[in-house]
Chains A and B, each alone.
Chain A
Amino acid sequence: MSEALKQSLDVSLFWEYRGVLLEGLTFNFFVFLCSAVVALSVGLGAALLRMNRLWPIRWIGTLHVEVFRNAPDYIMLVWVHFVLPLLIGIVIRRRVEFHPFLSAVLALGLVYSGYFAETFRAGIQAIPQGNLDAGRAFGMSERLILWRIALPQVVRRMLPEALNLFVSMFKATTIVSLIAVPDLMYNVSMVIQQEMRPLPLYTGAALTYFLIILMLSSGVRVFSERWRRKILA
């Protein structure tokens, strides 16, 4: 065991390939950024649908949220990458293929739109009715009330929860290697194929992610403490 232990703790191999691996990590970051945009916008849309006056529209929003919130990331990734292009291809009668990056962004964005929709909804419901009444009393349109009165307050209230979701999303980007997006884990497997030494690389990857996420989530924790105190002052 000591030989293997020494080998796996000998992360110099990991360090040697740091250039390639860092490139992979930036891919994780880009996937995260793009998915976050999708998740926020679709999530907001779904939350607003759920608050519509007409019940069929509300039902569509709820369906969206329940489907994507309960779907495992990986199956959604595989489905978006392999099934969705075929479905679109049937409709427009041409062969369609998704670039893996697109599938990754779409799949993760949709899954997390479910979580963000719930976050938005909780935030909107927490706004005191009087604030909205005051807006109406001044002759503000519903759209104005949403963007100037409601959403700013939703963001302030739900920022800590949203930040936690962002950290989760970033962790979730590790699975995109499974549809050949050249992220960190994908490059790790490439190096392993070349060097035939998985131990230091997997250990190195685990340590790298541990440190990054530790920093991010500690930062979020500290920020959330201060933010909550400021908002509830």
Chain B
Amino acid sequence: MGNWERLVWNQRDVLLAGLGVTVEVCAIAFTVAIIGGLALCLVRTYLAPLRPIAVVVIEFFRDTPIFVQLMWVAYVWPEMFGFPSTFFNAGWLALALQSSGYLAETFRAGIEAVPRGQREAAFSAGMSQSQTFARIVLPQVALATAPSIVNQFTVIVKSSTLISVITVPDLMSQSQKLVNVWYEPIEILTATAGIYIAFVFLISSAGKLLADRLLQRYGLNAS
């Protein structure tokens, strides 16, 4: 159909540029979220005096809706803390904060799911706390939580559509620009929706495959 060619295919550079920004923001957010989530989880579990603060922080990031968090980080934080300095940074930061809250809980469940006896076996063999954690606990937690982590990435991708509101030139933003130029929303928006759906579908299918493979090889169920 002529319209599809004219409006979508011919504009693919614009859309692909937007997709590139989306992927970039999501990748950064995802990485930071894993680190942040792990840090929060470790503080919560092992640093007793800071536990209440960690709990509140985790709850705050999890419970506040992503849109509200985004606006808060983008408009209030620069005044309060001096960063983030760009909307791009505000974008991945807000996404990362929200996901780190979820991942902190995921990691916690994963750690608690490692049977106590395994730690005792390691100590009995003479391993130190940190050795036990690094060689026995962490690998199992990583394997057990991998599907949830992949799922969290899909959440980040889906939430990333909102960073167009703070003028980050992602896929959503670019498609809205095209609609404003051409006044023909049907093909452009449908194609954009299709791209997002396909992208998320691919990631979550990969996650399902991963979960199946883990179950087969290690007999682990996703936590």
Contact = CB atoms under 8 A, between A and B. Distances in A.
Interface of A: 1, 4-5, 7-8, 66-67, 70-76, 78-79, 82-83, 86-87, 171-172, 174-175, 177-178, 185, 198-199, 202-203, 205-206, 209-210, 213-214, 217
Contact of B76 (A76, A203, A210): A203
A189 B162 CA distance: 16
Interface string B192-209: 110011001100100000
B186 A75 contact: no
Contacts of B190: 79, 83
A7 B79 CA distance: 10
Interface of B: 59-60, 62-69, 71-72, 75-76, 79-82, 154, 157-162, 164-165, 172, 176, 179, 185-186, 189-190, 192-193, 196-197, 200-201, 204
B52 to A, nearest CB: 14
Interface residues of B, dominant DSSP: helix
28 contacts: A1-B80, A67-B197, A70-B154, A70-B196, A70-B201, A71-B193, A71-B196, A71-B197, A72-B157, A72-B161, A72-B196, A74-B172, A75-B192, A75-B193, A76-B193, A79-B189, A82-B179, A171-B63, A171-B66, A174-B65, A185-B68, A185-B71, A198-B75, A198-B76, A199-B80, A202-B72, A202-B75, A214-B59
Nearest to B185: A82
B75 A213 contact: no
Contacts of B76: 8, 198-199, 202-203
Contacts of B204: 70
A4 B75 CA distance: 11
B189 A209 contact: no
A75 B158 CA distance: 9
B189 A82 contact: yes
Contacts of B79: 1, 4, 7-8, 199
A185 B162 CA distance: 14
A72 B63 contact: no
